[in-house]
Amino acid sequence: MSTTTLDRSAPSTMSERYLAIPTPLRWMGVAALGILVLTIVQSMSGTSLLTDSNTSGTMLRWSIPLLLAALGGLFSERVGIVNIGLEGMMILGTWCGAWGAFNWGPWWGLVAGAVGGALGGLLHAVATINFGVDHIVSGVAINLLGPGLTRYLSERVFVNYEGGSQTLSPRVDGLGNITVPFFAGGKIGGWESPDMLGWIDDKEWFWISDMAGVLRGLLFNIAYFTIVALVLAMIGSWIIWKTALGLRMRSSGENPSAGESLGVNIYLYRYIGVMISGALAGMAGAFIVLELTGLYRGGQTQGRGFIALAALIFGNYKVSGIIVGASLFAYPLGLSFADFDGSATRALLLVITLALIGVTVWAIRKEKWVDAIIGGGIAIAVLIWYLTTEAAPDWLPNTMPYALVLLVLIFNVQKLRVPQAVGAPFRRGDH
C-alpha cells in the first residue's frame, strides 16, 4: 500500500522539482537533451548534418517568417478574430516590402511591408467586426485578393523599373547581417575575434561539439531583421500577458460581452488586434523579400501563412510555443537544403520514431491507452519506413509541419487552450 502511494507521489514531486527550475534554464535543458537525441541518431545513421551549424542557421532564417506570421495570428485570435487571411496579408507585405525597399532602402521596406499587411488587416477587421462577415470567408477573400492585387500593382509599378516585370521586382538589399564576436568569430571594428564555438565544433567531442555547432549556427551571420523579429516576439508576449492593453485584448477574445459590460470598447481592441496581426504578417512577407530572396516574386510566400497558423495551434496560442513551433517546422527544411543524398532527412525519421516512443511512454504512465496505442503504432510505422528506405522523399520536409500539428491535436487536445469567443459573431450591445 505504501509503495503505491510512493509511486503516485513520485512523479508529482519530480514535476514540482522540474517546475522549480527557472524557465530559461529549463528550456536550455530541454534543448540540450534534444541535441543529445540528434547526436545519438547521427552516430547511428552516418550523417553529420543534423547538428551542423549551417542547418541551425538556415532553420533560424526560415523560422522567422513563420514566427512573425504566427505572432500575427496570435494577436488576431487573442481578440477573437480567426485570421485565415495571414497568407494574403503576407503577400501584400512582400509587395509593399519590395516597393519600399527599392525606393527608400531596406528599413523602409520593413516598414512598408508592415503597413501593407496592416491594410489587409484593416480590411479583415472591417469585414468581420463591423459587417459580421464570417471570419473564414473574409480571410479566404483576402487570400484571393493578395495575389491578384499585387500582380495588378506589379503591372502598374514594377514593370516601369529596370529589372522589374509583371511578376518580379528589381533586386533589393537586406537589412544586413551580424556575427556575434568571440562566440562565432564576428569582427569588432575590422579585428577578427576568435571563433570559440567553431573551435569546439571542430574538436568532435561527443554531444558537446554538436551543441556548439547548433549554437554557432544561431549566432553566425544573423540578419538584423531576425533580431527585430525576436524582440517583437518578446514585446508581443509582454503586451498580451502583462499590460492593461493586453488584458483588454484578451477579454475581447475570451468573453466580449463581459468585457463590454465593464466598459471595454471591444470593437476598438479587436481593430487593434487584427491590424497588429496584419502588420506582423506583412513584416513576415517583407522578411521573405529582404532576407530570403532579395526580390519580390509572385507566389513566393508558398503557403507560409497556413504553416504559421499550424505553428500557432502547435504553440497553444502562446509566444514561447510559437517560437518552438516555428523552429521545429523550419528545421526539416533547413536540413533538406543541404541534404543532397537524402540521408539526413532519412535520419529525421529515426528522430520522429524516438519522439513518438517518448510520447507513448508518457501516455502509458498517464494511463491514456488510446494515445499510447496510436503513438506506438505510428512509431512502429515510421521505424519500418526508416529501415526500408535509402533516402527520404523530397516532400517529407514540406509535410512535416502538418504532420506535427496533427500529432499535437491527437495527443494534446485536453491541454489545447483556444480563446473562448474566437470566431463567434459579436455585436455591440448584444448580450
Burial of 415 (0-12, 13-18, 19+ CB in 10 A): exposed
Residues 275-334 that bind another protein (CB under 8 A): 288, 292-295, 297-300, 302, 334
Is the Cβ of residue 317 or residue 426 nearer to another protein in the bound state?
426
Is the Cβ of residue 185 or residue 259 nearer to another protein in the bound state?
185
Is the Cβ of residue 145 or residue 383 nearer to another protein in the bound state?
145
Contact between 221 and another protein by CB under 8 A: the answer reads yes
* Three-state SS at 178: strand
Site string (400-419) toward another protein, x via CB under 8 A: --------------------
Residues 136-155 that bind another protein (CB under 8 A): 141, 144-145, 147-149, 151-152
Is the Cβ of residue 144 or residue 418 nearer to another protein in the bound state?
144
Burial of 2 (0-12, 13-18, 19+ CB in 10 A): exposed
Q: How far is the CB of 122 from another protein (least distance, A)?
A: 10
Q: How far is the CB of 171 from another protein (least distance, A)?
A: 4
Identity of the amino acid at 14? M
Alpha helices in 389-430 (DSSP H): 396-412
Residue closest to 427 by CA, chosen among 93, 28, 133, 97: 133
Contact between 132 and another protein by CB under 8 A: the answer reads no
The residue from 130, 243, 261, 420 that contacts another protein (CB under 8 A) is 130
Residue 278 parent element (H or E): helix 266-287
Q: Which cell is 360 given?
A: 507513448
Contact between 170 and another protein by CB under 8 A: the answer reads yes
Site string (379-398) toward another protein, x via CB under 8 A: --------------xxx--x
Contact between 171 and another protein by CB under 8 A: the answer reads yes
Is the Cβ of residue 163 or residue 194 nearer to another protein in the bound state?
163
**How many binding residues for another protein (CB under 8 A)?**
44
- The CA-based diameter of the chain, rounded to the nearest angstrom, is 83
Which residues have CB under 8 Å from 77's CB, separation 6+? 83, 253, 312, 317, 418, 419, 422
Identity of the amino acid at 184? A
Contact between 167 and another protein by CB under 8 A: the answer reads yes
Q: Please give the Cα distance from 384 to 14 (Å, whole number).
A: 34
Burial of 190 (0-12, 13-18, 19+ CB in 10 A): exposed
Q: Which residues bind to another protein, rule: CB under 8 A?
A: 54, 58, 61-62, 123, 126-127, 130-131, 141, 144-145, 147-149, 151-152, 159, 163, 165-168, 170-171, 221, 288, 292-295, 297-300, 302, 334, 337-338, 340, 393-395, 398
